[in-house]
Amino acid sequence: MTDPKRMYRLYQMQESGNCYKVRLLLHQLQIPCECIEVDILSGESRTETFLEKNINGRVPTLQLDEEIYLPESNAILWYLAEDMPLLPRDKLARAKVLQWMFFEQYSHEPFIATSRFWISILQQADKFADQIEAKRSGGEAALAAMNRHLKINDYFVADQYTIADIALYAYTHVAEEGNFELSPYPAITAWLTRVQSQVRHIRLPDAIT
Amino acid sequence: MTDPKRMYRLYQMQESGNCYKVRLLLHQLQIPCECIEVDILSGESRTETFLEKNINGRVPTLQLDEEIYLPESNAILWYLAEDMPLLPRDKLARAKVLQWMFFEQYSHEPFIATSRFWISILQQADKFADQIEAKRSGGEAALAAMNRHLKINDYFVADQYTIADIALYAYTHVAEEGNFELSPYPAITAWLTRVQSQVRHIRLPDAIT
């Protein structure tokens, strides 16, 4: 923030894993923030007023200053963690953090988060049965890749808890709300416990103010 | 590279826009690279040998050193451009570069690149007609968001050509191969020309060695 008296304002939806990532990091960094709930189901993120904040009409969008907005959950994590221990300083480690964050947005979220949205947010599993089935193999492939990595690594990058773990934790720990069972992936469930044991961990339903 | 005598090795597929991003940046930075073609259509990216390089079984994957591999096109762009003019130094500008790169992988590539893959790489537009139709509105929404931004900006971030432009150029300039017409988006076509006018621009079909 250019003005230290100004508080960050997070345009968000409480149930969204992408928004939870930002709340979790803000809380762990002890950065105060005002959360503004946006009802995406009624189109509030696609109004002309909201498109002025985020041209792509999505949450989370973090307001940094009077007219400065930053969309995209993982770009927000990066911005907030720059120069912090949760983002390593080593050049290769930083690229590996991005590797896993792009994996999360391309190979994980579109399958697991989308299934959870249809099943547990909209509660319309029957209506979206075909689409949910089409998301099955991609979601299992993402979990298998994570499990393989976590069999020989405690965290995703640099043997430490980073924003890559936060990004991947958000929708993985609620994967069962999208009908993805985690019991076949014991390395993932062990990692979930390690993430939950971090200082100032908060749960997805918890709001911050 | 830890060993300056070692040349980067890019595991890639020539027609892929994600791989082209990396070739374009390497060429513009005058970094030599050996390209290794991976036949993803015959499963070469899903062999056990390849999964040792990239646990997610995709190209591009850049080999940095004997046992160090970096997957994910946009993470590779970031790694190569760190400390270079194509990645601004300002913290907010860097986050905005990531914003547009995550937009590219989440809101653009899954619609426009996937349609192009079915229509122009596999040449199976009839077989995938329903899936292509399902990708229509998402692809048009991505192009509309880009066009709106480019009406008032020459480039995506910081009034300069950055790796965000490279990331978005890759599949946008061949969008018509996925049956997305660009004529309704004049700000995009003007930006394509600006990108093509950059020093050491190469075309997608061009190989580098």
- Asked which of A81, A107, A126 is the last residue of a domain, the reply is A81
Q: Distance between CA B77 and CA B84 in Å, rounded?
A: 11
Res B207 pLDDT > 90: no
Chain A residues in contact with B106 by the CB 8 A cut-off are: 72, 105-106, 109-110
- A72 contact residues in B (CB cutoff 8 A): 98-99, 102-103, 106
Are residue A160 and residue A130 in the same domain, yes or no?
yes
The stretch B122-148 carries a mean pLDDT of 97
Chain B residue with the nearest C-alpha to that of A1: B92
In which domain, by residue range, is A165 found? 91-196
Last residue of a domain, one of A81, A108, A124: A81
Beta bridge partners of A157: A160
For residues B60 and B71, give the distance between their C-alpha atoms in angstroms, rounded to a whole number. 6
ipTM: 0.96
Q: Is B86 contained in some domain? A: no
Share of chain A above pLDDT 70, in %: 97
Residue B1 is predicted with a pLDDT of 47
Same domain, B33 and B113: no
Q: What average pLDDT does range B175-202 have in this prediction? A: 98
Which of A72, A73, A100, A108 would you mutate first to test chain B, the one with the most B CBs within 10 A? A72
Decide if pLDDT at B209 tops 90.
Answer: no
Q: What is the CATH number of the domain that holds B187?
A: 1.20.1050.10
pLDDT band at B9 (very low <50, low <70, confident <90, very high): very high
Q: What is the pLDDT of residues A112-161, one digit of tens each?
A: 999 999 999 999 999 999 999 999 999 999 999 999 999 999 999 999 99
Half-sphere exposure at residue B201, Cβ-oriented, CA atoms within 13 angstroms: 14
Q: What average pLDDT does the segment B31-57 reach?
A: 95
| DSSP state at residue B86 | T
pLDDT-flagged residues of chain A (< 70): 1-5, 209
* Residue A98 sits in the same domain as residue A73: no
Q: Are residues B38 and B96 in the same domain?
A: no
Rounded to two decimals, the pTM is 0.97
Report the alpha-carbon distance of residue A81 to residue A132 in Å, rounded: 34
Give me the residues paired with residue A34 across strands: A9
**Shared domain check, A105 and A172:** yes
Q: In this predicted model, what pLDDT tens digit does every residue of B84-112 receive, in sequence order?
A: 999 999 999 999 999 999 999 999 999 99
